[in-house]
Amino acid sequence: MSNVTTTPNIADPDGFYAKLINLHDGLSEDDSAALNARLVLILANHVGDRAVLDDALEMAAKSG
């Protein structure tokens, strides 16, 4: 069983998605990738729980 919450858990998910996409507007591919990397590290630090982070890494690797 995974420690990662996979049920919808974001208030206004469409608004969040739009803001996320807009952050990338006008960025080069490299700058966009760097933004994504910074966001991942910020959110990983916020989560903090290594078991949850390990499960999320495994889930991401399987879904690609």
Q: Are 2 and 55 in contact (CB under 8 A)?
A: yes
| Residue span of the structural domain in which 39 resides | 28-64
Structure tokens at 54: 């390990």
15 lies in a domain? no
38 lies in a domain? yes
Enter the pTM of the model.
0.86
45 lies in a domain? yes
Work out the number of other CB atoms within 10 angstroms of the CB of residue 32: 14
In the prediction, which pLDDT does 2 show? 84
In the prediction, which pLDDT does 1 show? 72
40 lies in a domain? yes
Structure tokens at 18: 């739009």
Q: Render pLDDT for 5-47 as a digit per residue (tens, 0 to 9).
A: 999 999 999 999 999 999 999 999 999 999 999 999 999 999 9
Number of domains in the chain: 1
